[in-house]
Structure 1
């Protein structure tokens, strides 16, 4: 069986073996197309361009909640990060802590995107800052946004302005029209338009001075490693060929194992060279990412809770509604 596949670029080492053909799902001939995730999700939600692809977990929950049954989720989780550590602020805005974001003008590429969902959830549950207490400015316009593709409307009590097309999050941060942004994307694609390099700009800094320390603090406290993107497959394909779901999951598990071996080879080099204390060996050897429902249920249920709390879905979506039935006990 030949299936059109798209995985967001730049390539993730945990899915690269699939994309490169090093690992092939049994009985499936994948035809890969590289597309930036921002553009990929818009294309899938609006045009359904690919048979199998990455998908924003937030958008998947929203489409299912709205009765769009074109897609079935696969518990293959290609990207995850501590997204709240990526908040940027203007140095002159007087924002010294997350609590200082109340009443501020805050940029966001896409209000419904999963990175923004997690960041708002952390701001609410860790620091007591509600989405209703910030003024959001969204960069993606209705014709080229995930929101436009699913008919999203701002939740009650939440202020979302549209950034004019001639401006961007980057330009508005530099001019002082925005005081912060939840996320900043400069990669060229059809939906994002910020281009200014803010990484070392004298007027801009991360909200959290020590990003790694904040990520470690959050993980130690909550045990959550937020999931951003999963995989989806056309429902019509699974209805005709139910075996496709588990064969794809098995292949991505094999690709993940390759990435883990490569990571440990890199870690072993540093351990042998004395660049990393040997006491870290057990920590480094522990799996970082695992696919499947069992290893990720709590993270998925937390994302579903945040989606409902933030008015993106009318209720917390159940895992059984989102993923292929054959994968639920994996």
Structure 2
């Protein structure tokens, strides 16, 4: 017996798939796996089959035609083809987690493509029969080429999901950095995780009452439940700065509608050393990739260090309301590839 890959289009009507499978069964072809891709032209059925060694490509094509299949594609398959698409996609996602820069190779494996070409222009994502365009999260775009079989909407959606994963991983890498202080101390800035809760609680305990007042605008130390929500916001980002085994600063970007509110807490003995500014800049980079129309910061009038830090981000607007200042910095317009309909090629 020999492994073959078969792809054919059938009318998306009750019973038509069974006609095709019955035609294959009459030739002693055993179906090992099947996927169904919904398209405008009908249901595209993708089979992995085990056929008698005596069968040739023309024999399989004849059986497909007799089973009312059309636009047929047949090719020999390898044993690794026995892995179903969800398993393959998860394995490739795991590979991206370890190395986001392998996105091009991952797309070749996912789509069984002949070639992936990188293009410097950020082309609009989309696909046609033999070509697919995908955004490169690092800049530019990927052109995926596969002469046959034709790409389907399901394959485009899978590829887009892996592109989005690679983009998230690269963004996390961008937000991680080691800062070298003038005295030689090293401070690691990275995205926060739920496991940081205890260290962030200790950061608040070590911070003076005045530092907490400036951060929370008169409020005291937040309860643990609120701190936990701040570490992993549903929309936004939280960074922590770590020196040795202690969290010595926390910077938050929290969503308020289409606005992103930023705030920073830096332990007293680590203040005025550029840590807050470095964290703010990384939050701004994150915000520019997201759905935010502007960044805002609510600042006590006597919080000179925070006011200096936000002014370094750009020429924003500052409004005063009593003892509080509000800094607003518009973000550059940004549209995610997820917000766009696939391009139609002519």
Q: Relative contact order (C-alpha < 8 Å, sep 6+): which is higher?
A: 1
More helix by share: 1
TM range, normalised to the smaller chain?
Answer: under 0.3
TM-score normalized with structure 2 length: 0.22
What is the TM-score with the length of structure 1 in the denominator?
0.22
